[in-house]
Structure 1
Amino acid sequence: MTAEPLRVLVTGATGFVGSRLSPILLEAGHDVRAMTRRPEDYHGAGTPVAGDVFEAGSLAEAMDGVEVAVYMVHSLDDADFERKDAEAARNFARAAADAGVRQIVYLGGLGRDDQDLSPHLRSRRQVEKLLGATGVPVTVLRAAIVVGAGGISWEITRQLVKNLPAMIVPKWAATRSQPIAVDDVIRYLVGVIGNEETFGVTYEIGGPDQLSYVEMLQQAAEVINGRRVPVITVPVLTPGLSSHWIRFVTDVDTTTAKNLIDSMSTEVLQHDFSILEVVPGEPLSYQEAVRRAIEEQRTS
């Protein structure tokens, strides 16, 4: 990250990633603006500013004087999320261009462009393109499952492991993914913010482990419970049925669960490692990411 202090706008400042990113940027000496629809209720790091990506007219004041805008918005809790996320990205891109923003940083999703992507991952690609459509350089970090306390994908894993002595899983649970610790996501975001070398570049980020969803459940169970759980794979659980089952066992919203599960039949692995040239360092293992997530939840 540039050593020069920047004015950085963080969207999703109250969310899983944004709430971790803002204090680190503030500690580094940057002027952090935390965009929220209800600034009067914001108590996190940075200066709260009112803004709603679905209300184009609300963004001009939030963007005023901003040099870097970090975009971490999604509508996975809405069945019409593809349309809504496209609308939000268009609004944000226009406002950033009008305000003279130098860089947009976007946390997207892993997956090769030549794959048959799920609606969720296809939407992430569309958002990438729309954010860059008005000429502001976009730096994209593509990640798979992000492991950390409060993350939706992690909460599904944690609660399944905690609440079930054994599991019946669909055949797509054998699909491989490349989970990454939220600490590493933050480290990579910090490393690209304001870094002109990264303007207009897409990077893939991931942890060192390529694991199936079954393996992730088993390794999480080892950390949480000290033992693996029996897992039986069956061919009949569709994403829709799986999401209702997850809703029964966990407190994750059914629509959000279904939109995430739709993506789990797509293998999402890191193939490009050029991010390590920009932000050196060995990422945390999956088990270490799980340990940190559990410890954070235990002490919070």
Structure 2
Amino acid sequence: MAHPRVLITGASGFIGGAIAERLAGRADVRSLTSHPAKNRFGDRVRSFPYDFDRPERMADAFSGVEVFVNSYYVRFNYGTATFERAVEQTRSLVARAREAGVRKIVHVSVSNADERSDLPYYCNKGRIERLVRECGLDHTILRPAIVVGPGDILLNNIAFFLRRLPVFTIFGGGKYRVQPMTVEAFADVAVEAVDGGHRNVTLPVAGPSDWVFLDMVRAVRAAVGSRALIVPAPAAIALAGLRVAGLLLGDVVLTSDEVKGLTREYLYAADPVRRGLDFGSWVEQPTVASMLGRRYEGELARHFRPAR
């Protein structure tokens, strides 16, 4: 099938990169990114820089584009990168898309995004969903829970600590449900939306089975050959340990709001579209297990520090 001209935010990143990989070579793919120099696709993907101070300068990126794939957001407030600003910047991107004659937006959200949430991450994700729905263009809003694969932060860093520490603390009893999905499977659903499927819907997406977080951590431990003792701990104690780790690593490992979202089962949705390989089968593959946790994947290094 011939693909339309597509603009993707963050093709140098984890999810955007997986979608670009699926489309590159079969479509005219462009990327809007903070790090145009990090274009691993060569001439298969044209990179353009964000310019929110002068949004008219992004017109070339949108010129002739038929589908805009948006995964732009922030994990937490850091300096001038805030949830509020991410909402307004997304509003600017959507306006540029509408002005350029884009016919469809494929938006990457998160499970249980809700403007009424007391957690800013989920609240502002909900606000962005609304502006996408109300923009007047065809759209697909995809709501993954946990997306895993080469370069993901959460699972990789769980493996990183399991490989190095004798004790791994887990929030509460770890019995909250999660829905891991491979990044390749998620990219496949996104490409279906790019090709015209899933029109004007909000779609929870997940892997083929639900997991309890404790069991997911145990599966990672077994896959990487760790003997770490997994110990339930009150959230305050576990977060204190993560803050110390963050100071040593020069990063924000996990925020209190992310912990609340996890333990409240925000990373679980009823009746999602299910695709891809089961997490247990995926993580035990030798090629996956051998690469997980070999190095720490830092949010600040990835998004807030100059490319080298």
Q: Does 1:4 align with 2:5?
A: no
Cα RMSD of the aligned pairs, angstroms, is 2.9
Q: How far apart are the structure 1 equivalents of 2:235 and 2:293?
A: 36
Task: Tell me, yes or no, if structure 1 residue 62 matches structure 2 residue 55.
Answer: no
3-state SS in 1 of match to 2:236: coil
Select between 96-105 and 46-55 the one with higher mean Cα deviation. 46-55
Q: Aligned partner of 1:18: which letter?
A: G
Matched residues in 2 for 1:87 and 1:112: separation?
A: 17
SS at match of 1:237: helix
Q: CA deviation at 1:248?
A: 5.6
Structure 1 residue 113, shift from structure 2 partner: 5.0
Matched, 1:89 2:84: no
Partner of 1:213: 213
Q: Match of 1:157?
A: 158
> What is the Cα deviation at residue 61 of structure 1?
1.7
Number of aligned residue pairs: 288
Aligned partners of 1:131, 1:253: CA distance in 2, in Å?
Answer: 31
Question: What displacement does 1:256 show?
Answer: 5.8
Match of 2:110 in 1: 109
2:60 alignment partner, SS class? helix
1:38–1:159 distance in 2 versus 1, CA, 3 Å: closer
1:63: how far off? 0.6
1:263 is matched with 261
Give the C-alpha shift of residue 296 in structure 1. Answer: 5.5
Q: Structure 1 residues 41 and 188 mapped into 2: Cα distance closer, same or farther (>3 Å)?
A: closer
Secondary structure, counterpart of 1:174 in structure 2: coil
Counterpart in 2 of 1:170? 171
Match of 2:137 in 1: 136
**How many angstroms apart in 1 are the aligned matches of 2:63 and 2:244?**
45
Matched-pair identity in % = 23
Partner of 1:31: 28
Q: Cα offset for 1:199? A: 2.3
In structure 2, runs of 5+ residues without a counterpart are 295-308
Inter-CA distance 122–298: structure 2 relative to 1 (3 Å threshold)? closer
2:289 maps to 294
More moved, 252-261 vs 41-50: 252-261
User: Aligned to 1:91, what secondary structure does the other structure show?
Assistant: helix
